[in-house]
Structure 1
Amino acid sequence: MTIPAHENPGGRIIVPVALEGRSYDIHIGRHQLCEAAALIARLAPGAKAALVTDAHVAALHAPAFEACLHQEGIAATRIVIPPGEASKSYARLIELCDALLAAKIERQDLVIALGGGVVGDLTGFAAAVLRRGVRFIQIPTSLLAQVDSSVGGKTGINSTHGKNLIGAFHQPALVIADTALLDTLSEREFKAGYAEVVKYGLIDDAGFFDWCEINWSRIITGGPERDHAVAVACRAKAAIVARDEREEGDRALLNLGHTFAHALERLTNYDSTRLVHGEAVAIGLALAFRFSQRLGLCSGQDAVRVARHLDHVGLPSRLHQVPGGAGSADEIVAAMAQDKKVKRGAMTFILAHGIGKSFIAPGVAAAEVKAFIETELSVNGKAA
């Protein structure tokens, strides 16, 4: 796979998300903040705006973006939430909605999410319920958010019962993926987001996985490979969302590795010092392929190849790599039972016949899952 000429550095890549009556574009490229402000001004001339961000992102990027908005004649009320997964809560949702109402945001106005997945998920849900729906714009500042959570209209908060169990489908009006913003990420944050990039190769694009194996380090350092990887991921997700907006069919493929990942996040109490979402997804991807191998669906060679690539990047691929422990097999299975992909008590997994050959597997027996997890826990760092 080579990078198309129109995806060279300095250029802008536009990926459409085709939904009847709710279509929008994803703009990808470096140094897009002022262009984003101009696009917003054209999208909603005369509208008020609220800029929702977290304390960390606000210090890094909010002043520059607000200056760009000011140049376009847009005065935005800044609303700052605490960083971290704990902000995806009932309490923070109520606070945000009240702040948006205090800012006199009306249905024709705009709510702008400037931040990672937490900011985007919370802000999108608030926009979905505020005045029964106001327009919002996603400006994702993490790799994970640029390739996954900012696209497709899934919004929500967490419950004590599990992750993202309360939410709504509410499509953004525009997504701006400024890949230069990723330069400020820590190595850990960037690598965690990379798990969501490589996932698209594992789902149905073996050629992209091959390309990632060769180019992953250049994605991290920020060359044209970064923009290309974001564009490939966004095109893949946009195509799936256009076919299945509300996850009634093959959109569930995007959850490859996530049934395991969400259980691990819940068992670590969403403590980012122990495990962040992308790290949980990396473990989940490796587990999904090893579980597929155990069930006789996938070759051991492919399962080893997936784990080896994650290891080379510096991502975890085993349960023993969860700091403080992942819990017992019973605890992990119980946490999985609250996943959104459970239907009438039966667990649905995304499994694989090989790299780029993932499929939806409904009704997987809990006993089979438990036996697999017990085996994984017994490995405890030894060669499998």
Structure 2
Amino acid sequence: MSIDAPETTRVPVALGDRSYDILIGSGLIASAGATLAARFPGRAVAIVTDATVGDLHAPALEAGLTAAGLRHHRITVPAGEATKRFAMLEEVVDQVLAHRLERGDLVLALGGGVVGDLAGFAAAIVRRGMGFVQMPTSLLAQVDSSVGGKTGINSRHGKNLVGAFYQPGLVLADTDVLDTLSTREFRAGYAEVAKYGLIDDPGFFSWLEANWRGVFQGGKDRVHAIATSCRAKAAVVARDETETGDRALLNLGHTFGHALEAATRYDGTRLVHGEAVAIGMCQAFRFSAKLGLCSSDAAERMTAHLKTVGLPTELAHVPGGVGDVDGLMAAIGQDKKVARGKLTFILARGIGESFIAKDVDPAAVRAFLAEDLARG
């Protein structure tokens, strides 16, 4: 399919001479070889994927690359959050070099957020920066992690603490691949879709409340939700690429959520990232209500919607629990938004009225967490 086909939606990310397109539509993996040959002629391609996604989708991608005359090599990493670590970064970098890819060649991330973050960081550091293409295969990656240039790995001290801002040259979001996701993984991605409505688009949140079933079923509602999410993120990234200002709003729910992931030791059988974000957003709204910033009705409304689609909304919904207040506070203290030891949270005055709250009182956070844990 031509990249200019009317059924393909194009969302530009405006970053001057580093601007790029997000293409959203059906069949984009099969047509990727022709697309890449047209946009990046003569480039060799290192495909970074995980074992699960590679089996499902890499053959179609590789067939297209071969047909377009592009040399390619597949690098397969284990699936799961534990892959985002130094040892796997070294493995990817070593394979890219071993197969003699040059600085002008492409590292292509075929997978979800884990693969995208890992491959993007490798692209940023190999030969001091190679070409990079994102082909996100999860809903979460299509609407969030593949857009905006955040790359990185986890440390034993916390999530995403080692990385770089490194923009892709192109994002290809093939909506067909979402049909291969489990219901749980799709729901987890939906949390990030809802996030855009909760940040600053109450009309979109209302649309999701009325049309979420269509998003899950596929078709035009799904494309609309993905495109709306990508446009929202692209606008923020264009204003604040390296998160010195309002890009931090995109972390709604993430300070609490990352602490929950740390508490479960990144065990995806207990909690995946989107589920942690869903609980974290509910906590952010409950905390905002406790501080008198928003109404309890707003907190209850957004929680009810996430619960309706099947997402967890309470600490008690995490199998095996999340530990105690001290452990959660220690994890929050390692959050990337901490500045000079002071806590920063994304809080809300209502649906679509989120804001950056700096220098939040740790005692207030501790008291809130104690109450939240006691909710049972």
Query: What band does the TM-score fall into relative to the shorter chain?
Result: over 0.9
Residue 211 of structure 2 corresponds to which residue in structure 1? 215
Question: Is the aligned partner of 1:134 residue 2:130?
Answer: yes
Instruction: Give the counterpart letter for 2:341 in structure 1.
Output: G
What SS class does the counterpart of residue 320 from structure 1 fall into? helix
Instruction: Give the counterpart letter for 2:88 in structure 1.
Output: R
Residue 5 of structure 1 corresponds to which residue in structure 2? none
- What is the distance in 1 between the residues matched to 2:325 and 2:6? 49
Residue 269 of structure 2 corresponds to which residue in structure 1? 273
Question: Is the aligned partner of 1:24 residue 2:2?
Answer: no
2:364 counterpart (359, 368, 372): 368
1:246 counterpart (242, 246, 256): 242
Question: Is the aligned partner of 1:51 residue 2:10?
Answer: no
Q: 1:10–1:61: structure 2 CA closer, same or farther, 3 Å change rule?
A: farther
Conserved? CA contact 1:10–1:30, under 8 Å = no
Question: Is the aligned partner of 1:346 residue 2:342?
Answer: yes
- What is the distance in 2 between the residues matched to 1:294 and 1:260? 15
Determine what percentage of the aligned residue pairs are the same residue.
63
Residue 353 of structure 2 corresponds to which residue in structure 1? 357
Residue 158 of structure 2 corresponds to which residue in structure 1? 162
1:199 counterpart (185, 195, 198): 195
- What is the distance in 2 between the residues matched to 1:329 and 1:230? 36
Cα deviations by residue, 1:23-57 (Å, 9 ceiling, x for unpaired) = 00000011112332222101221111111100000
Residue 317 of structure 1 corresponds to which residue in structure 2? 313
What SS class does the counterpart of residue 45 from structure 1 fall into? coil
Residue 4 of structure 1 corresponds to which residue in structure 2? none
Instruction: Give the counterpart letter for 1:225 in structure 2.
Output: D
Structure 1 residue 75: Cα displacement: 2.2
Residue 101 of structure 2 corresponds to which residue in structure 1? 105
Cα deviations by residue, 1:358-383 (Å, 9 ceiling, x for unpaired) = 00000001110010011111111xxx
- What is the distance in 2 between the residues matched to 1:46 and 1:30? 25
Question: Is the aligned partner of 1:13 residue 2:6?
Answer: no
Instruction: Give the counterpart letter for 1:367 in structure 2.
Output: A
Structure 1: stretches of 5+ with no match in the other structure? 1-8
2:56 counterpart (50, 54, 60): 60
Conserved? CA contact 2:20–2:168, under 8 Å = yes
Residue 42 of structure 1 corresponds to which residue in structure 2? 38
- What is the distance in 1 between the residues matched to 2:80 and 2:21? 28
Instruction: Give the counterpart letter for 1:378 in structure 2.
Output: A
- What is the distance in 2 between the residues matched to 1:68 and 1:42? 13
Q: Where does 1:86-125 land on structure 2 (aligned, <5 Å)?
A: 86-125=82-121
- What is the distance in 1 between the residues matched to 2:49 and 2:31? 19
2:322 counterpart (321, 326, 335): 326
Structure 1 residue 103: Cα displacement: 1.1
Structure 1 residue 70: Cα displacement: 1.3
Conserved? CA contact 2:43–2:71, under 8 Å = no
Cα deviations by residue, 1:77-130 (Å, 9 ceiling, x for unpaired) = 011000000100000000110000011111111111100000000000000000
Task: Calculate the aligned-residue CA RMSD, in Å.
Answer: 1.0
Conserved? CA contact 1:10–1:29, under 8 Å = no
Structure 1 residue 10: Cα displacement: 7.1
* TM-score between both structures, scaled by the size of structure 2: 0.98
Cα deviations by residue, 1:243-302 (Å, 9 ceiling, x for unpaired) = 000000000000000000000001101000000000000000100000000000001100
What SS class does the counterpart of residue 227 from structure 2 fall into? helix
What SS class does the counterpart of residue 33 from structure 1 fall into? coil
Structure 2: stretches of 5+ with no match in the other structure? none
Instruction: Give the counterpart letter for 1:282 in structure 2.
Output: A
Conserved? CA contact 1:140–1:146, under 8 Å = yes
Instruction: Give the counterpart letter for 1:149 in structure 2.
Output: S
Cα deviations by residue, 1:217-246 (Å, 9 ceiling, x for unpaired) = 111111210000000000000000000000
- What is the distance in 2 between the residues matched to 1:106 and 1:263? 39
- What is the distance in 2 between the residues matched to 1:48 and 1:98? 16
Conserved? CA contact 1:143–1:190, under 8 Å = yes
Instruction: Give the counterpart letter for 1:304 in structure 2.
Output: E
Instruction: Give the counterpart letter for 2:252 in structure 1.
Output: L
- What is the distance in 2 between the residues matched to 1:43 and 1:110? 12
Report how many aligned residue pairs link the two structures.
372
- What is the distance in 1 between the residues matched to 2:35 and 2:148? 20
Structure 1 stretches of at least 4 aligned residues deviating more than 6 Å after TM superposition: none
- What is the distance in 2 between the residues matched to 1:170 and 1:315? 31
Question: Is the aligned partner of 1:303 residue 2:310?
Answer: no
Instruction: Give the counterpart letter for 2:374 in structure 1.
Output: S
Conserved? CA contact 2:148–2:241, under 8 Å = yes
- What is the distance in 2 between the residues matched to 1:326 and 1:18? 40
* TM-score between both structures, scaled by the size of structure 1: 0.96
- What is the distance in 1 between the residues matched to 2:34 and 2:59? 16
Q: Where does 1:228-267 land on structure 2 (aligned, <5 Å)?
A: 228-267=224-263
